[in-house]
């Protein structure tokens, strides 16, 4: 019986593992776009740093979210509901 259970668990884990996929949040950039944006921001920051040193002014670092092609992912609050089953009438919805 123990071997049978182990075999079923292995098959189940393998099947579940095959069904898992990476999920990209709606409205955000994919991995390739993020790599490109990060490289452009790094380059822009490098140029700004050089200009700041040459012109003797303060360096202002550009953040990734300030890039014109950056799309922020969805944000929001988590809504949690807790139901009580078999309670009194006062706490039943």
Q: What is the DSSP string of the chain?
A: -HHHHHHHHHHHHHHHHHH----PPTTS--HHHHHHHHHHHHHHHHHHHHHHHHHT----PPPGGGSTT--PPP--PPP-----SS--GGG--
pLDDT value at residue 77: 63
Examine residue 55 and state whether it is found in any structural domain, yes or no.
yes
The answer to whether position 3 is within a domain reads: no
In a domain? residue 41: yes
Domain span including residue 31: 27-87
16 inside domain: no
- Look at the chain and report how many structural domains it folds into: 1
pLDDT at residue number 2: 74
Residue 5 lies in a domain: no
pLDDT tens for the chain, residues 1 to 93: 577 777 777 776 666 656 666 655 556 677 888 899 999 999 999 999 999 999 999 999 999 989 988 887 766 665 555 656 666 665 555
Q: What is the pTM of this model?
A: 0.51
- In a domain? residue 14: no
Q: Which string of b and e fits 27-46 if b means at least 16 CB within 10 Å?
A: eebeeeebeebeebbeeeee
Structure tokens given for 89: 């009438």
In a domain, 2, yes or no: no
Q: Is residue 81 part of a domain?
A: yes
């Amino acid at each position: 019986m123990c071997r049978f259970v182990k075999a079923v668990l292995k098959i189940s884990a393998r099947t579940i593992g095959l069904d898992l996929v990476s999920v990209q949040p709606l409205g955000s950039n994919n991995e390739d776009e993020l790599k490109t944006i990060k490289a452009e921001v790094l380059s822009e920051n490098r140029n700004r740093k050089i200009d700041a040193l040459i012109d003797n002014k303060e360096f202002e670092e550009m953040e990734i979210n300030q890039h014109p092609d950056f799309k922020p992912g969805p944000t929001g609050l988590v809504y949690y509901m807790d139901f009580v089953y078999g309670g009194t009438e006062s706490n039943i919805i």
